Structures are given as C-alpha cells and as structure tokens.
Amino acid sequence: MIKKDKSKKENSDKSNTGVKKSGSNIHDLLFKHMMKVISNVICFIKNYVSKDIVDELDFDTLKQVSNVIPNDNLTENQIDAMYEVKLKNSDNEVFT
C-alpha cells in the first residue's frame, strides 16, 4: 500500500513565486503577478514592442489603470493588466 505525503499536497497550492494557485493556469497567474511591478512592465514593453514605438513613450508617466473595460453589451470585461503612458512631447496617451 502506498501512503500519500500530505505535506506535498499542501505546498503544491502555491507556485515558487508565492502566488496561490486557484485552478487557473499557473503561467497566467505568474504573468499577472509580474505585471504588477512597473519595472517589469517597462522591460516587457522594451523587449516586445517595436523600437520605433518604444522611443516615443515617456516611461516616467507609465501608470497602472483599471483593468475593467466596458463592452458593446454594456457589461464589463476584465483583462490581465492595463497601463497608460504618455507620448514624449505630447499630452496624448497610449494604453497597453
């Protein structure tokens, strides 16, 4: 008869990042956790967005905004993370 080690089960509810699993994809939870840190967001943008666009962004104005947006059915959608950043030499804003 094989005896189960309950301590492993209890510890498996958390990832190495300390983010508690809740039945969702652990990669999704990790991404959301990492995108709460502004420096991680800047690094992500600089690595995955065209340099021409990155050069136009004023990262000093980068801030997290509500991640709930209305849709056409007058209900709300929740997205992983949303940030607002101004363009250099402009008052125009870009949402990422």
Q: Is 87 helix (H, G, I), strand (E, B) or coil?
A: strand
User: Taking the complete model, does pTM exceed 0.75, yes or no?
Assistant: no
Choice between 63 and 18, residue whose per-residue pLDDT is larger:
63
Is residue 11 in some structural domain?
no
Nearest to 85 by CA among 57, 65, 66: 57
Question: What average pLDDT score do residues 6-17 get?
Answer: 50
Count the neighbouring beta carbons within 10 Å of the beta carbon of residue 25: 9
Cα–chain center distance at 19: 13
Is residue 14 in some structural domain?
no
Question: What average pLDDT score do residues 9-32 get?
Answer: 62
Report phi then psi at 74, rounded to 5. Answer: 60, 30
Question: Tokens standing for 54?
Answer: 């990155």
pLDDT at 39: 93
What is the residue range of 27's domain?
20-95
| Strand duo 82-87 + 76-78: pairing | unpaired
- Look at the chain and report how many structural domains it folds into: 1
Is residue 90 in some structural domain?
yes
Is residue 4 in some structural domain?
no
